[in-house]
A and B are shown apart, each in its own frame.
Chain A
């Protein structure tokens, strides 16, 4: 009984993402199998970078050892400071700019990339304190960063990304090709 009600509620569950955002994907980031990213683009052009549900970090109940926004000796995304309406001082990111490195408990390290061009507005410091947010709510509270594309590029920046349908096609093909 409880179960039925639950699924019923899920069916009509409203969602902030569904209302305001479009989902875009990049599959197999930099040729690395299954390292899929999901970009949530708000109708106001702003983009939230998240892990796609298929990303290896989110599989098989893995745990996170560390999250590091220091992407090189000289550059930490935590030092990004924006000021004013015009967001002065923001770090400018290109498609393949690394945002952070995530180390899982089995010592495998993954790099999360920007996926789109734009100015870095903020990174999610909550996941530093509570890495589990990344595992439990990867598409909302476990987001990686917020990026503001240039106004004139707000449409073109997603041209190289996959739509949800295209991404689902990639994922189902992937599961077919994998050995049983």
Chain B
């Protein structure tokens, strides 16, 4: 039995006559009992039909309703007279005989619903559930639950609005607090029907309202796209062209315009109730998407001819590989992800090695088909990376949350970094000539944006602190310089001076030209991600 009351009768009557399907009728009666939508639509239609035949009750109810009805109609002053005139023939149907009503029923069964454009009719059932599940299974995802998302043509909102205006009076009469928001949405009804069917097909995988794995169903209806067009003339503000949207008639924009437009204006431009469509919606390809998985770790870079990210100049690849690619390849294949975004705590130049505990990095893996890995399995992935190349090494590889990733970038400026530079001096040196450097503490540098990056960064003078330095004599023209610095210090420029644009610099300190031959990052002092014991 459908959970309908006497006051639903006029709504049911009006909507069936307007060419709405049985489920859309339930929606506008604000029926929120999910089972009512799940039963076969022809059953529902039959029940609705029988329901409006119960004339006796209807009469009694009607007379009892007269008072609130009047109050209501006096409030809805914005209703134009033309609409009222239009409604009259529809109301006449109410008083027709059983036979006439049955004719209406026959017609409804074969035609496409003017409201949901067939979505709650033939596009909603076991066949569709099978199609969804076949697609999901073919893509070989690993998941415990799934969420069904539905994308509907924007013009459905216009039709919904038209229908709302058509029965607004009757719905409000049903309950004074009921409003347009209380009408069950097509999307909602679709999910109520489909979720159980999909669960059944997937042998028990729960279809829930929130899940990392999303299966998207999309419908379009090209024939009625022009339904929205009048809105652009009435509310041009809502339809500003945007770069990446192919049509201005997005669902959002249409909803916004419908909130703004007056009922009178709407009814001037759009039929009420909406006209009957010639055919059903077209289902689009089913889209599966797993939310990103985030992983983090630390990497060493042992090679002086390896960029951190692919190096492309004038569209041409400069180096055959990169740190991120060497790390990403085994991870992508383990997680079967479509792509990745790599980020790290700072970066080193192509000719700089990163030693010690390595540099923290994090990766967003896009649409991973597999997402659950045990600690042992993560260790195996790490091993695969480390065996694949001797140019890099990864440690502390782990799955992290999106939120935790921000810890890597937090306070990046305050962090310290340790370096070792091999320095050349133009003048011949002895150990005594350089040992004073060991005593320099917290040396503040004024660094103009280095010439080598000035083409793409703003010109500025930044103050950076070298906390301490130590020297190790090599020969009369070479020594190793260890530095502990504030993050963001340009070490190469400190050594060679960058045309005097970093001051003080090592040339000034040693009173001779100096140059940097090799640079190693010894440590990046960031305590994230947490270390994983070997």
Contact B456 A146 (CB under 8 A): no
Contacts of A14 in B (CB 8 A): 424, 515, 517
B454's partner among A83, A133, A143, A146 (CB-CB below 8 A) is A146
In the complex, which residues 123-172 of chain A have their Cβ closer than 8 Å to any Cβ of chain B?
124, 126, 133, 137, 140-141, 143, 146, 148
Beyond A85-B457, A126-B500, A143-B499, is A6–B452 a contact (Cβ under 8 Å)? no
In the complex, which residues 460-485 of chain B have their Cβ closer than 8 Å to any Cβ of chain A?
476-477
Q: What residues of chain B have their CB less than 8 Å away from a CB belonging to chain A? A: 424, 426, 428, 448, 451-459, 476-477, 496-500, 515, 517
Q: Which of A28-36, A39-47, A107-115 participates in binding chain B? A: A39-47
Contacts of B515 in A (CB 8 A): 13-16
Count residues of chain A with CB under 8 A from any CB of chain B: 30
A85 and B476 alpha carbons, distance in the complex (Å) = 42
Contact A141 B499 (CB under 8 A): yes
**How many whole Å from A161's CB to the nearest CB in chain B?**
19
Contact B428 A9 (CB under 8 A): yes
A47 and B223 alpha carbons, distance in the complex (Å) = 60
Beyond A15-B515, A48-B451, is A85–B500 a contact (Cβ under 8 Å)? no
Contact A141 B497 (CB under 8 A): yes
In the assembled complex, 19 residue pairs joining A and B whose CB atoms fall closer than 8 Å, in A order, are: A2-B428, A5-B428, A9-B428, A9-B476, A13-B424, A14-B424, A16-B498, A42-B452, A44-B452, A44-B455, A45-B455, A48-B451, A82-B459, A121-B454, A126-B500, A140-B497, A140-B499, A140-B500, A146-B454
Q: B459's closest neighbor in chain A, by CB?
A: A82
A82 and B500 alpha carbons, distance in the complex (Å) = 19
Beyond A14-B424, A20-B452, is A83–B477 a contact (Cβ under 8 Å)? no
A141 and B453 alpha carbons, distance in the complex (Å) = 18
Contact B454 A141 (CB under 8 A): no
Contact B455 A148 (CB under 8 A): yes
Contact B499 A83 (CB under 8 A): no
Contact A48 B499 (CB under 8 A): yes
Q: B505's closest neighbor in chain A, by CB?
A: A141
**How many whole Å from B214's CB to the nearest CB in chain A?**
37
Contacts of A140 in B (CB 8 A): 497, 499-500
Confirm or deny: A62 has a beta carbon within 8 angstroms of a beta carbon on chain B. Answer: no
Contacts of A9 in B (CB 8 A): 426, 428, 476-477
Contact B428 A46 (CB under 8 A): no
**How many whole Å from A40's CB to the nearest CB in chain B?**
9
Q: B515's closest neighbor in chain A, by CB?
A: A14
Contacts of B448 in A (CB 8 A): 122
Contact B428 A133 (CB under 8 A): no
Contact B426 A13 (CB under 8 A): yes
Q: A148's closest neighbor in chain B, by CB?
A: B455
Contacts of A45 in B (CB 8 A): 455
Confirm or deny: A84 has a beta carbon within 8 angstroms of a beta carbon on chain B. Answer: yes
Confirm or deny: A65 has a beta carbon within 8 angstroms of a beta carbon on chain B. Answer: no
Confirm or deny: A174 has a beta carbon within 8 angstroms of a beta carbon on chain B. Answer: no
A146 and B453 alpha carbons, distance in the complex (Å) = 13
Contacts of A124 in B (CB 8 A): 499-500
Q: A154's closest neighbor in chain B, by CB?
A: B455
Contacts of B496 in A (CB 8 A): 16
Q: B517's closest neighbor in chain A, by CB?
A: A14
**How many whole Å from A78's CB to the nearest CB in chain B?**
14
**How many whole Å from B476's CB to the nearest CB in chain A?**
7
A15 and B497 alpha carbons, distance in the complex (Å) = 12
**How many whole Å from B517's CB to the nearest CB in chain A?**
6
**How many whole Å from B73's CB to the nearest CB in chain A?**
62
Contacts of B457 in A (CB 8 A): 85
Beyond A5-B476, A42-B452, is A121–B459 a contact (Cβ under 8 Å)? yes
Contacts of A44 in B (CB 8 A): 451-456
**How many whole Å from A129's CB to the nearest CB in chain B?**
11
Contacts of B498 in A (CB 8 A): 16
A144 and B95 alpha carbons, distance in the complex (Å) = 97
Contact A146 B451 (CB under 8 A): yes
**How many whole Å from A46's CB to the nearest CB in chain B?**
5
Contacts of A16 in B (CB 8 A): 496, 498, 515
Which 8 residue pairs spanning A and B have beta carbons closest together? A141-B500, A44-B455, A14-B515, A16-B496, A46-B455, A140-B499, A84-B458, A82-B459
**How many whole Å from A145's CB to the nearest CB in chain B?**
11
Q: A83's closest neighbor in chain B, by CB?
A: B458
A85's partner among B428, B458, B499 (CB-CB below 8 A) is B458
A141 and B498 alpha carbons, distance in the complex (Å) = 8
With most chain A CB atoms within 10 A of its CB, the pick from B454, B476, B515 is B454
In the complex, besides A13-B515, A46-B455, A85-B457, 19 extra interface pairs with C-beta distance below 8 angstroms are A5-B428, A9-B428, A13-B424, A13-B426, A15-B515, A42-B451, A42-B452, A42-B455, A44-B451, A44-B453, A46-B454, A48-B451, A83-B458, A87-B458, A87-B459, A121-B459, A122-B459, A141-B499, A143-B499
**How many whole Å from B87's CB to the nearest CB in chain A?**
62
B456's partner among A2, A83, A85, A126 (CB-CB below 8 A) is A85
Contacts of A13 in B (CB 8 A): 424, 426, 515
